[in-house]
């Protein structure tokens, strides 16, 4: 036994050693990656810091210059050629800016290039500086602001030039400048970046006195720096590359940036250096600490494995048994109600013979959740589960918690069908007459039950009971037991068949539009065409929309149909002079893809004045603020709006008043017997009078005979549509 334990310990130590080695390797790689990311961020800092400092300095210069020129006394003195007054007025501005480190030089230059006043040397004036400084000449010629790096006396400076105008006359310019070492100081102060200025050695002595002693690197020479670091750069340092150098025990990221004038001419390079020694020291310290921790970890683990391996095995066995029990509990138990779940039900049905099942669904549970909150909803699920459990014990049924707000009661003992039905109604009556007190809230919740009772082998109890439950919900029944006469399965198969037909029609582009004329009631002239969708079946027959539109909505294929109609109608609008109307549901209007497509086409083609959108009144359009927004949007393109099927269900004149519509289409249920139905005549007369008072046109659908046509004219309906006048057909 000891030999086995020692061997197991050695094996375990080997595995631990590999794991620790892998752990150390992973940490090393991670630390290395972190160091590289820090280095990369330092490189980005060097890359961007100079630009930021340059912009900051430029902002200060322009602020100073603009502030000075807003003093009209200074402009008046410059215009009058009063050098003494100009000096007196401008000097305080310069001293303030110089004290803030924003300016080192200020000069006023006349329109002819003559240096009128140097604030630093007021006794020196009268020279034509534009001949010496191309940037000055450019600014005078352009008469607009100009900011750039430029070579001034003995140095490179950031120069900002502003034109001086008075009453539309160009008087000259003011030049303000700051030495580039100001930018270097900002770099150091804000980002800890050391910097130096380097000239191309070949042109250096055309700018600086030849007696200047400089540090030379390859083709460049450093003329100024704010740190002695730049005296210790490697002799082979290349200014055009970003490098990492170790100098006297410290590590630096060094990069240079080319400096160009306003004319994009290179004049020098700014070298920037950032000390990253702390990062490297921290990296090496972490590596050493990691190795120490890893060594200690190996020793501790070896000791633990050597002493407690046998006890560990026993504990693992106990834990494993407990975990298996917990896993079984999680797999087969609902976490909220602690009842057996759907998986347990499926396995029990598979393993044993059962005769019947009741699927119990809480009515309007979503409303309970919305009204009282999810916490109360969860507690309601628990207490209803407890109530059903008591009933299950009375009738020797097995209770299971299904998904969401659904429960299942499984019958395994022998009963006849009549007793089963009686038991189901007793359970329904008990549950639907129970109030539940939850945290002081008295909640009355009703349930619906779908059931199946089957004496034959291999019955799909759950599937058939679920079909019965869905049908009960659809028909507003509290209880329904599955039987073949319900034709539920056939309905599902029919839905699947039509979903496939629709998908095939979309894939093979077998949709087509038929058009039915909408006629002027007095002249019978076709005012517009309504677009009506059809499918050309594989055998060439035409399928009307009543056969597939509802299935399309349920299978989420409806947007494809709407978008096909929109694309086709815009082609017709582009190639014909007719007006067309399109049926849109509320779902179409709320569909973002359909909206985007429609707005894009309206924006691209100027045809909105020949397009009418028919919105179904029966879909409760008054509940959607988005509908009003849509109507406003499309009306901006000239489109018109019709309310379709008006007069069905719960027609409401009030929300019509709030919508900016052009037509009311009176539903066919009111029109088809209009010649003999006096009540329908009264309703239609009211709708027409209401519409005409609001300057809304009316359209009658289903005009199928001469008598209906005559009655529509008598009632003053504006437009008529129906088979009596014209049938839907392709254009």
For residue 527, what are its two tokens? 């005012």
* Predicted pLDDT of residue 104: 86
Greatest CA separation for the chain: 124
- What's the CA gap between 668 and 142, in Å, rounded? 76
**H-helix or E-strand containing 308?**
helix 277-332
Residue 688 near residue 713 (C-beta atoms within 8 A): no
The SS3 of residue 170 is strand
Residues 20-36 have a mean pLDDT of 69
Residues 178-200 have a mean pLDDT of 77
- DSSP H helix total and E strand total for the chain: 22, 28
Q: Is 723's pLDDT higher than 80?
A: yes
Residue 158 near residue 143 (C-beta atoms within 8 A): no
Which residue in this structure is represented by tokens 């020793």?
299
Report how far apart the first and last C-alpha atoms of the chain are (Å, whole number).
94
Read off the pLDDT band of 700 (50, 70, 90).
Answer: very high
For residue 684, what are its two tokens? 């239609």
- What's the CA gap between 449 and 433, in Å, rounded? 15
Residue 584 near residue 614 (C-beta atoms within 8 A): yes
68-77, 200-209, 290-299, 512-521: least confident range: 200-209
Q: Between 729 and 261, whose confidence is greater?
A: 729
pLDDT digits (tens, 9 = 90+) for 223-274: 777 777 777 777 667 666 666 777 777 787 787 777 777 777 777 777 777 7
Domain residue spans in the chain?
50-277, 340-486, 495-720
Q: Which one, of 637, 690, 693, 640, lies nearest residue 663 by Cα?
A: 640
Q: Which one, of 171, 172, 119, 181, lies nearest residue 149 by Cα?
A: 181
Q: For 166, list phi and psi in degrees, rounded to 5.
A: -145, 120
Q: Is 609's pLDDT higher than 90?
A: yes
Q: Considering the entire predicted model, what is its pTM?
A: 0.43
Q: Is 74's pLDDT higher than 60?
A: yes
How many Cβ atoms from other residues are within 10 Å of residue 394's Cβ?
12
Read off the pLDDT band of 596 (50, 70, 90).
Answer: very high
Q: Is 58's pLDDT higher than 90?
A: no
Read off the pLDDT band of 211 (50, 70, 90).
Answer: very low
Read off the pLDDT band of 549 (50, 70, 90).
Answer: confident
- What's the CA gap between 218 and 195, in Å, rounded? 18
Residue 501, CA atoms < 13 Å, CB-side half-sphere: 20
Q: Between 148 and 297, whose confidence is greater?
A: 148
**Alpha-carbon 139 to chain mean position:** 48
119-133, 393-407, 450-464: least confident range: 450-464
- What's the CA gap between 292 and 290, in Å, rounded? 5
Burial of 177 (0-12, 13-18, 19+ CB in 10 A): buried
Q: Which of 141-145, 199-203, 295-299, 363-367: highest mean pLDDT?
A: 141-145
* Predicted pLDDT of residue 616: 77
* Predicted pLDDT of residue 650: 47
Residue 612 near residue 642 (C-beta atoms within 8 A): yes
Q: Which of 412-416, 494-498, 631-635: highest mean pLDDT?
A: 631-635
Read off the pLDDT band of 154 (50, 70, 90).
Answer: very low
* Predicted pLDDT of residue 198: 78
- What's the CA gap between 224 and 198, in Å, rounded? 7
Residue 552 near residue 502 (C-beta atoms within 8 A): yes
307-311, 345-349, 708-712: least confident range: 307-311
How many Cβ atoms from other residues are within 10 Å of residue 427's Cβ?
24
How many Cβ atoms from other residues are within 10 Å of residue 57's Cβ?
23
Burial of 126 (0-12, 13-18, 19+ CB in 10 A): exposed
- What's the CA gap between 623 and 619, in Å, rounded? 9
* Predicted pLDDT of residue 317: 57
* CATH class of the 340-486 domain in this structure: alpha beta
Q: Which one, of 640, 660, 642, 650, lies nearest residue 700 by Cα?
A: 642
- What's the CA gap between 108 and 113, in Å, rounded? 10
What is the C-alpha radius of gyration for the chain, rounded to an integer number of angstroms? 44
Residues 428-456 have a mean pLDDT of 85
The SS3 of residue 667 is coil
Q: Is 205's pLDDT higher than 80?
A: no
CATH number for the segment(s) 50-277: 3.30.450.20
**Average pLDDT of the chain to the nearest whole number:** 82
Residues 403-409 have a mean pLDDT of 89
Q: Between 523 and 317, whose confidence is greater?
A: 523
Q: Between 709 and 507, whose confidence is greater?
A: 709
* Predicted pLDDT of residue 277: 79
The SS3 of residue 85 is helix
CATH number for the segment(s) 495-720: 3.20.20.450
Q: Which residues contact 606 (CB under 8 A, 6 or more apart)?
A: none
* Predicted pLDDT of residue 502: 78
Read off the pLDDT band of 35 (50, 70, 90).
Answer: low
Q: What residues pair up with 271 in beta bridges, in sequence order?
A: 196, 256
* Predicted pLDDT of residue 691: 92
- What's the CA gap between 309 and 11, in Å, rounded? 12
Q: Between 403 and 255, whose confidence is greater?
A: 403
Report H helices in 70-82: 72-80
- What's the CA gap between 140 and 191, in Å, rounded? 37
Read off the pLDDT band of 343 (50, 70, 90).
Answer: confident
The bridge status of strand 611-616 relative to strand 580-584 is parallel
Which residue in this structure is represented by tokens 């014990």?
393
CA angle 585, 590, 595 (to 5 degrees): 95
* Predicted pLDDT of residue 278: 77
Residue 397 near residue 474 (C-beta atoms within 8 A): no
270-284, 464-478, 555-569, 628-642: least confident range: 270-284
Read off the pLDDT band of 484 (50, 70, 90).
Answer: low
């Amino acid at each position: 036994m000891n030999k086995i334990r020692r061997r197991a310990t050695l094996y375990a130590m080997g595995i631990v050693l590999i794991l620790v080695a892998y752990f150390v390797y992973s940490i090393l790689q991670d630390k290395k990656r972190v160091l590289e990311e820090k280095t990369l961020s330092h490189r980005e800092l060097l890359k961007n810091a100079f630009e930021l400092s340059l912009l900051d300095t430029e902002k200060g210069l322009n602020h100073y210059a603009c502030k000075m020129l807003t003093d009209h006394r200074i402009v008046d003195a410059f215009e009058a050629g009063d050098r003494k007054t100009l000096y007196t007025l401008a000097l305080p501005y310069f001293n303030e800016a110089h004290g803030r480190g924003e300016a080192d030089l200020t000069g006023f230059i006349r329109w002819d290039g003559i240096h009128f006043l140097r604030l630093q040397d007021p006794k020196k004036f009268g020279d034509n500086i534009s001949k010496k400084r191309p940037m000055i000449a450019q600014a005078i010629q352009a008469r607009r602001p100009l900011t750039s790096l430029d070579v001034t006396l003995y140095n490179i400076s950031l120069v900002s030039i502003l034109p001086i105008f008075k009453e539309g006359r160009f008087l000259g310019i003011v030049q303000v400048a700051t030495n580039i070492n100001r930018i270097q100081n900002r770099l150091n102060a804000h980002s800890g970046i050391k910097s130096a200025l380097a000239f191309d050695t070949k042109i250096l002595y055309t700018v600086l006195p030849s007696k200047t002693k400089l540090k030379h690197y390859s083709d460049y020479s450093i003329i100024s720096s704010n740190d002695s670091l730049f005296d210790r750069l490697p002799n082979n340092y290349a200014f055009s590359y970003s490098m990492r150098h170790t100098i006297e025990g410290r590590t630096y990221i060094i990069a240079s940036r080319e400096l160009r004038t306003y004319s994009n001419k290179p004049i020098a390079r700014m070298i920037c250096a950032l000390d990253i020694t702390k990062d490297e020291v921290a990296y090496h310290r972490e590596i050493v600490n990691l190795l120490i921790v890893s060594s200690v970890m190996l020793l501790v683990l070896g000791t633990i494995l050597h002493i407690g391996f046998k006890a560990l095995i026993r504990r693992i066995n106990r834990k494993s048994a407990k975990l298996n029990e917990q896993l079984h509990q999680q797999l087969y138990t609902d976490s909220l109600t602690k009842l057996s779940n759907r998986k347990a039900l499926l396995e029990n049905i598979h393993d044993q013979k059962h005769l019947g099942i009741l699927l119990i669904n809480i009515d309007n549970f979503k409303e309970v959740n919305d009204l009282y909150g999810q916490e109360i909803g969860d507690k309601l699920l628990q207490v209803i589960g407890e109530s059903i459990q008591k009933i299950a014990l009375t009738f020797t049924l097995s209770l299971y918690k299904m998904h969401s707000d659904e429960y299942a009661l499984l019958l395994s003992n022998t009963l006849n069908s009549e007793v089963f039905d009686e038991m189901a109604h007793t359970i329904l009556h008990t549950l639907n007459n129970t109030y539940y007190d939850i945290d002081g809230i008295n909640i009355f919740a009703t349930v619906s039950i779908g059931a199946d009772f089957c004496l034959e082998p291999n019955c799909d109890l759950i599937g058939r009971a679920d079909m019965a439950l869905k049908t009960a919900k659809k028909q507003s029944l509290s209880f329904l037991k599955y039987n073949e006469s319900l034709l539920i399965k056939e309905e599902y198969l029919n839905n699947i068949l039509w979903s496939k037909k629709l998908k095939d029609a979309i894939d093979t582009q077998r949709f087509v539009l038929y058009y039915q004329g909408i006629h002027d009631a007095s002249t019978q002239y076709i005012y517009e065409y309504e677009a009506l969708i059809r499918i050309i079946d594989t055998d060439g027959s035409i399928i009307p929309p009543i056969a597939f539109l509802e299935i399309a909505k349920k299978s989420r294929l409806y947007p494809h149909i709407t978008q096909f109609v929109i694309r086709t109608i815009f082609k017709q609008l582009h190639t014909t002079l007719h007006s067309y109307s399109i049926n849109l549901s509320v779902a179409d209007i709320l569909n973002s893809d359909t909206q985007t497509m429609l707005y894009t086409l309206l924006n691209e083609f100027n045809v909105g004045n020949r397009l009418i959108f028919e919105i179904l009144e029966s879909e409760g359009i008054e509940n959607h603020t988005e509908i009003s927004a849509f109507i406003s949007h499309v009306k901006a393109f000239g489109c018109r709006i019709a309310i379709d099927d008006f007069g069905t269900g719960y027609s409401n004149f009030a929300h019509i008043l709030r919508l900016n519509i052009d037509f009311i289409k009176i539903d066919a249920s009111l029109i088809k017997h209009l010649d003999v139905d006096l009540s329908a005549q009264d309703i239609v007369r009211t709708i027409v009078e209401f519409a005409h008072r609001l300057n809304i046109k009316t359209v009658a659908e289903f005009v199928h005979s001469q008598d209906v046509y005559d009655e529509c004219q008598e009632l003053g309906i504006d437009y008529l549509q129906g088979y009596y006048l014209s049938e839907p057909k392709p254009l």
